[in-house]
């Protein structure tokens, strides 16, 4: 095959310097970040005259570095999940290849030292060719990897220097970077000049800091290419590099206690500053351990993303991610699917997160052609694949937070992955290897899978997974620890089933947790023609080939606001579990001494007593003396930080538990309606209510105009209902017409002091139906009883979306207070973050702004709720048994039609839905569906309510 361009080369850049550790050196550094001159062309073969110093770039524009050019008005972003947006013809790419030309004029500082100078490119997508003062320096490959060049011979002192870089969107490397994210191009990480001494430079530093958990001793070995001294003042270390230093006692590093020792490595010409963490990673009897303790990954997969800058993150973005993870009980990160910015790993070292560092490799799109031509198994690509692994390992090798290397993601299986594994084991035997897609585990040390069902995880934990055809490989795999590389797909409303997964990880020693997919929604900030802000997803930029909102599958909304899913995950990942009689410590290293335990007793949602709880060292609780209560009462115990931590202030809630103290009094039998039914010219009157005599519909309640009730079965499908990569329920529901149900009123009868309305609800083309009977009774001048009985007709063979009734109220009723689960939304298999209490939100605040609008905002186990206007007048609903509550400023039908939140416009009414049940959420957008316990079968249901003019 003929390769006609530098960006189609299958050889690592020959001019690039050897990969080395990212170090904090006292050598002079000049950042070239800032505004560069920029021009975008349609092809990569345009003339290269722009590299000349005399070239006139006055007609060009400015572009910041670091940045992606598509996010600054040059071209447009494009999103695909697996399918390449270019023809599969590796390593060739289309002639139509958007190409960015960059120019930067700079001068060296007057005191710039003599000797060598290195140009460092932190990250360029996808490949670049570099010139300095008209001299070609070399080209890059590997978008998320550092490339360095020696530019000494081309650099000018005391004169202008012109750095020219041509960046192509498509290159041979693009075939290795099909990583379920926006295709965004440009110089998106920093550009620096680094002064290097002529002789005696610390061009690389390698740290090996082991910990012996049996006696607490540490072993330190720092290797350098030139003679140097290693100093760790806190440990009294002052030794030559290359010498093993035995330390009788060190404090180990862990994610719970990220103990770091400040160190320097000095030679005559340079000093490098290090932060050393002592820890030892091992697999013992099939269990992954760190410092002798079983590791449990309470993790997330993290793409680098910010809605305005894409992957061009600032330190503030990275720190915010780390702090949010720590504050939500996350202890681990898989760097999906490439090495992150080096500063992120430094923050993981400092604040304490376990890291699986993943190579910049994914060839997922070859799956669509049965893996024909897959670079992971084509020997021509071996050098590029191994080069990517080498550059990651060398750059990141000194981070104690990194406990596993990952060969990459979803690249099938093949010889080049084996070559990457061989090189890594030889270079760094201190960390095990992970790679999910080769289920034989031929080249790795850890068994890993994606999106398994709970039953499959349980089978692996019991050693009962299906055998491999190769008996030797099967036996080897069964001796490996298991890590769920991706699970609980956090797309839209969800994920459900988190608690059941965690129970399996905590039950089976071999199952050592995993990484929820994923950390953040990749919504690009955009605006409508009217200036309304929203977050765009695939297809919003005119892409022909795209995967829609599958890019919005995170625990954070694009602006880094936590979603309900993240709040649930925090609850599931709690490092201590609060039970009624003890505190169960699930931490690996820390004890309970950094926590304070506070209790509060609430009766009918109102606080009646509170205090601090005495907890013994073994976790046993001394129960507080509680006052008597007469209503429904709950004791809530909160574990909070007793003092400031680097990642949160004192008082930050880490865990909680809630326990019933006094049950809700059983409802007394409802007496015969004391108010008679009256008929007049306006309709049928019962207590405060006026009904239409033709269809039995409620028209007025006191002074409130009301429409309804209407049987509500449909919900705006969630991403998990649509299940783009699973088994969807939405088409099943739509085929049955559940989104277009028609109601027929069969009878309106006045009987025994009540109004009884019998209806049949069905859809076109099917005899399946739901019979709904509404029985209204007047209880007082301001109170109305409503019993709703729902009975299915026919052989329903699928669960229902939901089952309830909907009322239309005036939109002046915009405040909602309720006693039930809150403050956030809850569905049968979500809402773990919520507790029973009394809460208030506006109708607007009850809506969850998922990037793609869908079912949201339900509050569960509601005892009573009020929907009121500003002065507090409105409607109160009380359930004789708890019910589900949803209040919206638009109908479900409008929510179903919307593609973005900006499509949702209040329609002049407040829509109140009271439900007797809801289908669970699950994780079927890319994983298993709803567990059987959370399905909503078509079965008889009942709502027993009281409506009161408030």
Name the residues annotated as catalytic. Answer: 410, 486
**Contact (CB, 8 A) for 912 and 804:** no
Q: What is the DSSP letter of 901?
A: G
> Scanning the structure block, which residue is given the tokens 């201590």?
576
Give buried/exposed letters for 937-949 (b at 16+ CB in 10 A, else e).
ebeebebbbbbbb
Helices (H), 80-222: none
**Contact (CB, 8 A) for 555 and 302:** no
How far apart (Å, rounded) are the C-alpha atoms in residues 242 and 223? 5
How far apart (Å, rounded) are the C-alpha atoms in residues 527 and 238? 59
How far apart (Å, rounded) are the C-alpha atoms in residues 883 and 914? 6
Reduce the DSSP state of residue 461 to 3 states and report it: helix
Q: Residues 6 or more apart from 421 whose CB is under 8 A from it?
A: 407, 433, 435, 443, 444
Q: What is the DSSP letter of 893?
A: H
Strand bridging mode 237-240 / 245-247: unpaired
The DSSP code sequence of 567-612 is: HHHHHHT-SEEE-SSBEEE--SS--STTEEEEEEEEETTEEEEEEE
Residue 879 β-bridge partners: 945
Strand bridging mode 606-612 / 177-178: unpaired
For residue 343, cis peptide bond before it (omega within 30 degrees of 0): no
Strand bridging mode 116-121 / 147-150: antiparallel
How far apart (Å, rounded) are the C-alpha atoms in residues 864 and 907? 26
Reduce the DSSP state of residue 910 to 3 states and report it: strand
**Contact (CB, 8 A) for 657 and 636:** yes
How far apart (Å, rounded) are the C-alpha atoms in residues 591 and 618? 9
Question: Which value, to the nearest 10 degrees, does the dihedral of the CA atoms of residues 345, 350, 352, 357 take?
Answer: 10
- Which is nearest to 416 in space by CA: 176, 605, 129? 176
Q: Residues 6 or more apart from 669 whose CB is under 8 A from it?
A: none
Q: What are the percentages of helix, strand and coil residues in the chain, rounded to 5? A: 15, 35, 45
How far apart (Å, rounded) are the C-alpha atoms in residues 752 and 660? 39
Reduce the DSSP state of residue 690 to 3 states and report it: strand
Which helix (H) or strand (E) element contains residue 635? strand 633-641
Q: Residues 6 or more apart from 104 whose CB is under 8 A from it?
A: 32, 34, 36, 37, 65, 162, 163, 191
**Contact (CB, 8 A) for 845 and 922:** no
Tokens for 306?
């910010």
Question: Which value, to the nearest 10 degrees, does the dihedral of the CA atoms of residues 302, 305, 311, 314 take?
Answer: -100
Q: Residue 929 CA to chain centroid, in angstroms?
A: 19
Residue 808 β-bridge partners: 707, 911
Tokens for 274?
């290090």
CA 942 to each of CA 321, 804, 880, 913: distance values in angstroms, whole numbers, following the listed order: 45, 9, 11, 14
């Amino acid at each position: 095959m003929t390769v006609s361009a530098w960006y189609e080369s299958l050889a690592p850049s020959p001019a690039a310097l050897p990969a080395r550790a990212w170090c904090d050196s006292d050598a002079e550094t000049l950042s070239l970040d800032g505004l560069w001159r920029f021009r975008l062309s349609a092809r990569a073969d345009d003339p290269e005259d722009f590299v000349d110093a005399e070239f006139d770039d006055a007609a060009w524009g400015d572009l910041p570095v670091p940045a992606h050019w598509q996010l600054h008005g040059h071209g447009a972003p494009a999103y695909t999940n697996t399918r390449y947006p270019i023809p599969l013809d590796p390593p060739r790419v289309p002639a139509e290849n958007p190409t960015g030309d960059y120019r930067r004029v700079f001068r060296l500082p007057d005191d710039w030292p003599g000797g060598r100078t290195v140009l460092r490119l932190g990250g360029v997508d996808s490949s670049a060719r570099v010139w300095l003062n008209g001299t070609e320096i070399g080209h890059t490959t590997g978008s998320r990897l550092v490339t360095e060049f020696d530019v000494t011979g081309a650099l000018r002192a005391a004169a202008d220097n012109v750095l020219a870089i041509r960046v192509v969107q498509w290159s041979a490397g693009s075939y290795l970077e099909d990583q379920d994210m926006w295709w965004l191009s440009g110089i998106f990480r920093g550009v620096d000049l680094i002064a290097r001494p002529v002789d005696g430079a610390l061009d690389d530093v390698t740290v090996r800091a082991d910990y012996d958990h049996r006696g607490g001793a540490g072993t330190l070995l720092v290797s350098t290419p030139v003679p140097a001294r290693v100093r760790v003042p806190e440990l009294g270390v002052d030794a030559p590099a290359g010498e093993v230093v035995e330390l009788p006692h060190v404090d180990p590093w862990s994610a719970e206690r990220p103990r770091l020792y400040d160190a320097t490595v000095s030679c005559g010409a340079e000093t490098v500053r290090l932060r050393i963490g002592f820890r030892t990673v091992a697999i013992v009897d099939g269990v992954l351990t760190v410092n002798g303790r079983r590791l449990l990954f309470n993790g997330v997969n993290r793409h680098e993303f910010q809605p305005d800058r894409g992957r061009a993150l600032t330190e503030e973005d990275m720190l915010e991610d780390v702090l949010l993870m720590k504050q939500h009980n996350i202890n681990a990160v898989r760097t999906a699917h490439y090495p992150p910015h080096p500063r992120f790993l430094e923050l993981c070292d400092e604040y304490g997160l376990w890291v699986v560092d993943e190579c910049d490799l994914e060839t997922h799109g070859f799956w669509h052609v049965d893996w024909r031509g897959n670079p992971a198994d084509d020997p021509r690509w071996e050098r590029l694949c191994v080069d990517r692994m080498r550059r990651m390992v060398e750059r990141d090798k000194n981070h104690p937070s990194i406990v596993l290397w990952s060969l990459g993601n979803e690249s099938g299986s093949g010889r080049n992955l084996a070559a990457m594994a061989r090189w890594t084991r030889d270079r760094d035997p201190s960390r095990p290897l992970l790679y999910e897609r080769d289920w034989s585990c031929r080249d790795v040390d850890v068994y890993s899978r994606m999106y398994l069902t709970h039953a499959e995880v349980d089978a692996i934990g019991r050693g009962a997974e299906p055998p491999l055809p190769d008996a030797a490989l099967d036996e080897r795999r069964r001796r490996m620890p298991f890590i769920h590389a991706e699970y609980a797909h956090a797309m839209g409303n969800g994920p459900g089933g988190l608690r059941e997964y965690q129970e399996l990880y905590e039950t089976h020693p071999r199952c050592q947790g995993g990484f929820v997919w994923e950390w953040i929604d990749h919504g690009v900030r955009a605006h409508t023609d009217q200036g309304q802000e929203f977050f765009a997803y695939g297809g919003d930029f005119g892409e022909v080939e795209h995967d829609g909102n599958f890019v919005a599958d995170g625990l954070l909304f694009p602006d880094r606001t936590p979603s309900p899913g993240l709040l649930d995950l925090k609850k599931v990942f709690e490092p201590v579990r609060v039970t009624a009689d003890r505190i169960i410590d699930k931490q690996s290293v820390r004890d309970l001494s950094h926590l304070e335990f506070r209790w509060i007793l609430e009766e009918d949602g109102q606080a009646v007593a509170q205090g601090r709880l005495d907890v013994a060292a073994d976790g046993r609780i001394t129960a507080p003396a509680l006052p008597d209560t007469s209503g429904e009462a709950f004791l809530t115990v909160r574990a909070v930080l007793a003092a400031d931590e680097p990642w949160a202030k004192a008082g930050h809630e880490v865990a909680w538990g809630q326990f019933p103290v006094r049950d809700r009094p059983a409802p007394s039998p409802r007496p015969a309606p004391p108010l008679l039914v009256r008929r007049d010219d306006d309709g049928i009157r019962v207590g405060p209510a006026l009904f239409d005599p033709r269809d039995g519909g409620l028209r007025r309640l006191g002074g409130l105009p009301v429409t309804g009730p209407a049987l509500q079965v449909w919900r705006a499908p969630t991403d998990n209902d649509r299940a783009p990569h699973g088994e969807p329920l939405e088409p099943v529901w739509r085929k049955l017409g559940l989104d277009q149900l028609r109601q027929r009123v069969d009878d309106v009868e006045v009987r025994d002091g009540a109004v009884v309305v019998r209806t049949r609800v069905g859809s076109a083309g099917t005899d399946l139906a739901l019979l709904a009977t509404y029985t209204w009774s007047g209880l007082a001048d301001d109170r109305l009883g409503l019993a709703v009985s729902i009975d299915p007709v026919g052989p329903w063979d699928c669960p229902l979306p939901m089952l309830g009734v909907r009322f239309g109220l005036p939109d002046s009723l915009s405040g909602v207070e309720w006693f039930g689960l809150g403050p956030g939304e809850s569905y049968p298999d979500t809402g773990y973050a919520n507790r029973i209490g009394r809460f208030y939100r506006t109708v607007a605040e009850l809506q969850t702004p998922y990037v793609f609008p869908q079912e949201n905002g339900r509050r569960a186990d509601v005892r009573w709720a009020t929907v009121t206007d500003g002065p507090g007048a409105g409607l109160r609903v009380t359930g004789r048994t708890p019910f589900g509550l949803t209040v919206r400023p638009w109908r479900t039908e409008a929510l179903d039609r919307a593609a973005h939140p900006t499509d949702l416009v209040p329609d002049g009414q407040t829509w109140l839905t009271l439900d007797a049940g809801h289908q669970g959420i699950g994780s079927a957008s890319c994983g298993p569906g709803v567990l059987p316990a959370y399905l909503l079968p078509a079965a008889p249901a009942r709502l027993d309510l009281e409506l009161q003019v408030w």
